[in-house]
Structure 1
Amino acid sequence: MTDQAGMTDPTADPPPTADPTADAASAQNSPPAQSGTPVATVVIVNWNGAHLLPACLDGIAKQETSFAFETWVVDNASSDGSRELLAERYPWVRVVASERNLGFAGGNNLALRQVTTPYAVLVNNDAIPEPTWLAALLAPFDEPGGRHLGATTGKVVFLPRFLRIRLHTSTFVPGPQDSRELGVRVSSVTVDGREALREVLWEKLTYGAEGPAKNPYFWTRGDGELCVPIPDGGPVTLGFTWAAESRKQVILSWDGPTGAADGGRAELAVGPESATVSLTVGGEAPRVDVINNVGGIVLADGYGADRGYQQVDTGQFDQSEDVFTACGNGMAMRSSLGHELGWFDDAFFLYYEDTDLSWRIRARGYTIRYVPGAVLRHIHSASSVEWSPLFVFHTDRNRLLMLTKDATATLALSAVLRYPVTTASIAVRTMRQAWRARSRPAVRPTLLRLRVCGSYLRLLPTMLRARRQIGATAAERRGSLQSWLVSR
């Protein structure tokens, strides 16, 4: 369930990207070399992504295939010159124009409902395909057993390469209302002077983003690993702006070159006042690829997740295998099946629409195959900021909508009934904390969850009708499908 490119969060910083003009001249008159009847239609949803499209489309133009394919860009009412850029530099791309932002689900559907090629292929505008991506993604449909395949999904890795850093420091527990063991509070990370806080991969070290969406910070654990995006070759200077509950030391360490017994190590000070420290990492430090998605999973409590998320790519996912869900960024699907299913659910707008569609593909008795050779490089959170109000609203609501449509009644009811109970618990805890601190309560998280409840209830009759239709056409029972769900 990766970032979806049909909607951009207005709080997001501009993502790192190559110069949009770098390959424009060579790309504008260089459509993919192909002949014959198109086998696939590649669909890209765009909203104010003029800074992202050149790298994506130049990657499409370089695809090495033995078959012809079409490339369509759905423009979700962009106001940044995206359509002008497409007309000027990429005349071989068909533009499907929308007069309003339909999100990732509705934007894709605007094109998908017009597709006549045997296969439809989806890619985000903030992703760059390797030259063999499309050929690898479609190959399994022609292999033995391919007639049972409903969709394929590839390997998505983060665009930059990373320095893998281990952190160690002493911890403290804030108090009875917060039992976390906290290390240091990081509010900025720079790479050669450029802010990179949003691009750092924190999954194995922190408790997630906190604070306002425009100025987030992260509390670390006492031990863990972070991956910092750094350029290839040459030394790099890293800066950390941080604070802690008291004066103490933080040890950072990283691997040395391949075959070396030791890597680098730095012991840095931190204290109650926010301060910036810096260190230089030699050019010989290894850069690694980090996985964004290698197919999707659904946890036993109904939450969707990216398989392999933020794992360093060491070849552990280099074997093709069946997975429960496909990622909307880099999936191929039989068009005939997509038309039968109605493609994505327009009501989802963005997030969980690919998980919902995958669940319905499997309910029809088809399988979904992970293809490790179909590689995309993806800009992390270029299109939406994780844990922003936009992100939280759609992930919370759409998870409940998906379970209402696709899961067993037991799982769906459990998740739906738990949500308002948790909302009430959060509200009570917030009021108690504010009363003790004699401060104004932070009501926005509770209000956001109430918005989720209201939107869910408004859409509930539609989802129940969809549930009955899915059940009437299913080739595999809901209980059987839930054998794929993974325990936490």
Structure 2
Amino acid sequence: MTERKQTGTTAAGPGGGAAGPGGGAAAEPLATIVIVNWNGAHLLPACLDGIAKQDAGFAFQTWVVDNASADGSRELLAERYPWVRVVPSDRNLGFAGGNNLALRQVTTPYAVLVNNDAVPEPSWLAALLAPFGEPGGQHLGAATGKVVFLPRFLRMRLSTPTFVPGPHDSRELGVRVSSVTVDGREALREVLWEKLTYGAEGPAKAPYFWTRGDGELCVPIPDGGPVTLGFTWAAESRKQVVLSWDGPTGSTDGGRAELAVGPESTTVTLTVGGEAPRVDVVNNVGGIVLTDGYGADRGYQQVDTGQFDQPEDVFTACGNGMAIRSSLGHELGWFDDAFFLYYEDTDLSWRIRARGYTIRYVPGAVLRHIHSASSVEWSPLFVFHTDRNRLLMLTKDATAALALSAVLRYPATTASIALRTLRQAWRGRSRPAIRPTLLRLRVCGSYLRLLPTMLRARREIGRTAAERRSSLQSWLVSR
């Protein structure tokens, strides 16, 4: 069990010296916290220091699965966190396999999962496990908390005239942003602007974002004091860009800047006063699955204004900050090792619900998370696993109609993308960009290789299910 100094006690451990529910100081641990780590020595201290500060009121233990790190993670754990049990792996098993390496050894009533790039608030663990002991808690299979992005943000709005690039690209584009700085520090990858841009484009080492004509962005800024923001951008012609932001709480006056943009890439700067409000932005408050089979984070990139402050049942739990009844996890076999990373938590949640258990969102269980600190969103690694694993999940868990629709649509879409790419290259007398098509073909090949295993899993899920697939799909959400 873990050890730390507690105010007013001697040599008590984090979770180790507190009395359990109805027990004494030597109570058996109620939960095992599992953290998967791969080359995350720079992330672990904040995560583990947050766990050491948990005000739980019951005993718990902390395990770190090290996925063959080569950055000194194990040395760091041995030197600074001797109260953590290290579960070593001689190869990178991913999020699914790494967690399973520990979860299959768990004997405590509850298992709790945390990403190595997340920092829990002091009341997180107690709040997360509380619903299991409340009336009706015997029907609860898992609980999931409120995950917000680690920094605080300045909420801004961008507005500019748009243009349509051409017959093969009907998007209405505003400006092309290639850099955002905060007090001189590059922050392009940390800006939250799903409501404003069309997603990352260009090479992985030098991405850029095309904006729409109007939308919201959230820029990470430090607390207190004025901040200088820099934007490097270009557009199809000379025009104005209006950036605006909220004023102090209770004030109707905010900030506003009119800035020029043109065909040549230029950098503009503006200063935001220290009184500008900093806000928290939601990463996940439980998960949803859309009617076309795509998983999504509920509340993603919404400014947290208290709209998710009530506990409620949700369809899926987030693997970052998820608590599960251990007996149920062992029955289900925990995560599917074949998934490696992404969609493994959605698949497990679907199987929990198929057994007739519920999943509860707990707003008081707050984690602060560095988004995509371990894997870059929209990288080939990300796209391969999200595309393939969505098809694997639907093959296992969804109705035959939904699964077949998604699986058959994928190669058809791949062929359409390949033909469009060839036509564009022929018209432009250029070499076709074949990497996206090759990646999708890899997805098809990997899916077909795993299909027999998924069909066996589908039959087993159906044999042990307490709720029909068609009934579970009533939770699916339209776009």
Using structure 2 for the length normalisation, give the TM-score: 0.96
Instruction: Report runs of 4+ in structure 1 exceeding 4 Å deviation.
Output: none
Q: Which has the higher contact order (CA 8 A, sep 6+)?
A: 1
Tell me the alpha carbon deviations over residues 149-184 of structure 1, each in whole angstroms, 9 at most, x when there is no partner: 000000000000000010000000001100000000
Correspondent of 2:352 among 346, 361, 376:
361
Structure-2 residue corresponding to 1:423: 414
Checking the alignment, whether the CA contact within 8 Å between 1:25 and 1:89 is kept in structure 2 is no
Mapping of 1:230-309 within 5 angstroms?
A: 230-309=221-300
Structure-2 residue corresponding to 1:446: 437
Structure-2 residue corresponding to 1:410: 401
Structure-2 residue corresponding to 1:346: 337
CA distance in 1, matches of 2:39, 2:376: 15
CA distance in 1, matches of 2:381, 2:107: 33
Checking the alignment, whether the CA contact within 8 Å between 1:148 and 1:366 is kept in structure 2 is yes
CA distance in 2, matches of 1:303, 1:380: 19
Q: Sort the Cα spacing of 1:264 and 1:293 in 2 relative to 1 into closer, same or farther, 3 A.
A: same
Structure-1 residue corresponding to 2:378: 387
Residue 313 (structure 1) aligned with residue 299 (structure 2): no
Correspondent of 1:139 among 121, 130, 139:
130
Mapping of 1:72-83 within 5 angstroms?
A: 72-83=63-74
Q: Secondary structure at the match of 1:486?
A: coil
Checking the alignment, whether the CA contact within 8 Å between 1:30 and 1:61 is kept in structure 2 is no
Residue 96 (structure 1) aligned with residue 78 (structure 2): no
Structure-2 residue corresponding to 1:330: 321
Tell me the alpha carbon deviations over residues 181-224 of structure 1, each in whole angstroms, 9 at most, x when there is no partner: 00000000000000000000011100111111121110000000
CA distance in 1, matches of 2:206, 2:397: 37
Correspondent of 2:146 among 132, 147, 155:
155
Checking the alignment, whether the CA contact within 8 Å between 2:5 and 2:13 is kept in structure 1 is no
Q: Sort the Cα spacing of 1:448 and 1:344 in 2 relative to 1 into closer, same or farther, 3 A.
A: same
* Structure 1 unaligned regions, length at least 5: 1-23
Structure-1 residue corresponding to 2:162: 171
Letter in 2 for 1:309: Y
Q: Secondary structure at the match of 1:123?
A: strand
Letter in 2 for 1:415: A
Structure 1 residue 260, shift from structure 2 partner:
1.6
CA distance in 1, matches of 2:304, 2:223: 17
Correspondent of 2:451 among 425, 443, 460:
460
Structure-1 residue corresponding to 2:119: 128
CA distance in 1, matches of 2:354, 2:117: 31
Structure-2 residue corresponding to 1:196: 187
Mapping of 1:14-53 within 5 angstroms?
A: 31-32=13-14, 33-34=17-18, 35=25, 36-53=27-44
Residue 217 (structure 1) aligned with residue 208 (structure 2): yes
Tell me the alpha carbon deviations over residues 344-387 of structure 1, each in whole angstroms, 9 at most, x when there is no partner: 00000000000000000000000000000000000011111111
Structure 1 residue 30, shift from structure 2 partner:
7.7
Tell me the alpha carbon deviations over residues 81-137 of structure 1, each in whole angstroms, 9 at most, x when there is no partner: 000000000000000000000000000000000000000000000000000000000
Correspondent of 1:62 among 49, 53, 59:
53
Structure-2 residue corresponding to 1:435: 426
CA distance in 2, matches of 1:347, 1:31: 36
Q: Secondary structure at the match of 1:371?
A: strand
Q: Secondary structure at the match of 2:83?
A: coil
Q: Secondary structure at the match of 1:390?
A: helix
| Pairs aligned (count) | 463
Q: Secondary structure at the match of 1:328?
A: coil
CA distance in 1, matches of 2:5, 2:62: 19
Letter in 2 for 1:248: K
CA distance in 1, matches of 2:452, 2:316: 25
Q: Secondary structure at the match of 2:368?
A: strand
Letter in 1 for 2:172: E
Structure 1 residue 70, shift from structure 2 partner:
0.4
* Structure 2 unaligned regions, length at least 5: 19-24
Using structure 1 for the length normalisation, give the TM-score: 0.94
Bigger drift between 33-42 and 182-191 goes to 33-42
Tell me the alpha carbon deviations over residues 436-487 of structure 1, each in whole angstroms, 9 at most, x when there is no partner: 1110000000000000000000000000000000000000000000000000
Letter in 2 for 1:263: G
CA distance in 2, matches of 1:480, 1:199: 39
Residue 207 (structure 1) aligned with residue 204 (structure 2): no
CA distance in 1, matches of 2:248, 2:369: 26
Checking the alignment, whether the CA contact within 8 Å between 2:37 and 2:66 is kept in structure 1 is yes
CA distance in 1, matches of 2:97, 2:473: 27
Q: Percent identity?
A: 90
CA distance in 1, matches of 2:206, 2:359: 39
CA distance in 1, matches of 2:195, 2:75: 42
CA distance in 2, matches of 1:203, 1:243: 19
Checking the alignment, whether the CA contact within 8 Å between 2:50 and 2:120 is kept in structure 1 is yes
Q: Secondary structure at the match of 2:115?
A: coil
Structure 1 residue 31, shift from structure 2 partner:
3.9
Structure 1 residue 25, shift from structure 2 partner:
12
